[in-house]
Amino acid sequence: MLFWRINVSDFYFDVHMHLDLYEDTEKIINQILNYKSYTIAVTNLPYLYDRAINKFGEQRYLRFALGLHPELLEQFPEQIPYFFERLEYCRYIGEIGLDFGKNNYKSKMLQIDTFEKIIKTCGKFENKILSVHSRKAEKEVIDIIGSHFNGKIILHWYSGNMTELSRAIRNNYYFSINGDMLASKRGRDIVNKIPLERILIESDAPFTKDTRENYNILYINNLISNLSNIKKIDKHKMSNILKGNFSRLLK
């Protein structure tokens, strides 16, 4: 099933988390289902996507994304062709992107070549939703995606400069915001510049402070509260804006 049918009544959502990195996956899935929290569980390699799909399948409030993390390309080059074999059949793609941090800079050209091919291939379809990593490579990520991508782009945990942020906003990308971003002044400055209609929420569990040990849907509730305070908007209104953004993302 490619498309979700969203219930317009109260619900939570999380557009970027790593379910497969937890041991108590069954418990987390039950929590997702009980809270009716629409969740995109990203993966970092195709074999991890296959394992998750084979074990859990697609469920009412859970979708798995096909991933090829830039930090793992050099270590797992044999996974690259497997990713492209599956790409046509997956609507949700992530985690993908570029990472030019000091530990990954030597694989820069492999990353660029692979990401360019991903964007070109995804652009042949109209329904792809991409969750994109861009640490220390924001300009290159935006250059490669461009302003006319035939799908939906989510810049996950954006941490770049304001110039590239403005470019991404003009290109109508979405931005997924987590609690760690809101805990720093720089992160809050970034969030304050993003238009309300471009904001989505993520936990990036288990990589954020309050999700390292356990995943709890209340993290999302607290995130909405903190985001409403920063944007100086009533929480109920903020929640409705976020739900509207998520619904449009899926169309």
pLDDT at 6: 73
Q: How distant, in Å, are the alpha carbons of 9, 46, 94, 154 from that of 242?
A: 13, 30, 20, 14
Which residue numbers belong to the known binding site for a divalent metal cation? 16, 18, 95, 133, 156, 204
Q: What is the pLDDT of residues 53-72, one digit of tens each?
A: 999 998 999 999 999 999 99
C-alpha span between 146 and 160 (Å, rounded): 17
What's the mean per-residue pLDDT of the chain? 95
Establish if 37 belongs to a structural domain.
yes
Q: Which token pair is 63?
A: 């979708």
Helix axes 218-231, 235-250, angle to 10 degrees: 110
Is the residue at 79 inside a domain? yes
Q: What is the CATH number of the domain that holds 88?
A: 3.20.20.140
Residue 172 counted as domain residue = yes
Tally of CB atoms within 10 A around 234: 10
In a domain, 3, yes or no: no
> Are the beta carbons of 15 and 202 closer than 8 angstroms?
yes
Residue 5 belongs to some domain of the structure: no
Helix axes 162-170, 138-145, angle to 10 degrees: 20
Residue 198 CA to residue 32 CA, distance in Å, equals 24
Measure the CA–CA gap between 152 and 197, rounded to whole angstroms.
14
pLDDT tens, position by position, 76-127: 999 999 999 999 999 999 999 999 999 998 999 999 999 999 999 999 998 9
Strands (E), 76-158: 92-97, 129-133, 152-156
Classify residue 134: in a domain, yes or no: yes
Q: Provide the residue range defining the domain that includes 217.
A: 12-250
Question: Which amino acid makes up residue 202?
Answer: E
| Calpha distance 69→43 (Å, rounded) | 8
**What are the backbone angles phi and psi of residue 94, rounded to the nearest 5°?**
165, 145
Split into its structural domains, the chain has a count of 1
Q: How do beta strands 12-17 and 152-156 pair?
A: unpaired
Q: Is the pLDDT of residue 2 over 60?
A: no
Asked whether residue 59 is assigned to any structural domain, the reply reads yes
As a whole-number percent, the residues of the chain with pLDDT over 90 amount to 91
> Is pLDDT of 192 > 70?
yes
Asked if 25 and 218 touch (Cβ cutoff 8 Å), the reply is no
Query: pLDDT band at residue 222, thresholds of 50, 70 and 90?
Result: very high
Q: Are 91 and 126 in contact (CB under 8 A)?
A: no
HSE (side-chain half, CA atoms, 13 Å) at 82? 15
Name, in order, each residue with C-beta under 8 angstroms of 38's C-beta and a sequence gap of 6 or more. 4, 6, 11, 12, 13, 14, 61, 246
Q: Which residues are annotated as a binding site?
A: 16, 18, 95, 133, 156, 204
Position 57 in a domain? yes
CA distance 32 to 30: 5
Distance in angstroms (rounded) separating the CA atoms of residues 222 and 23:
24
Q: How confident is the model at residue 22 (pLDDT cuts 50, 70, 90)?
A: very high
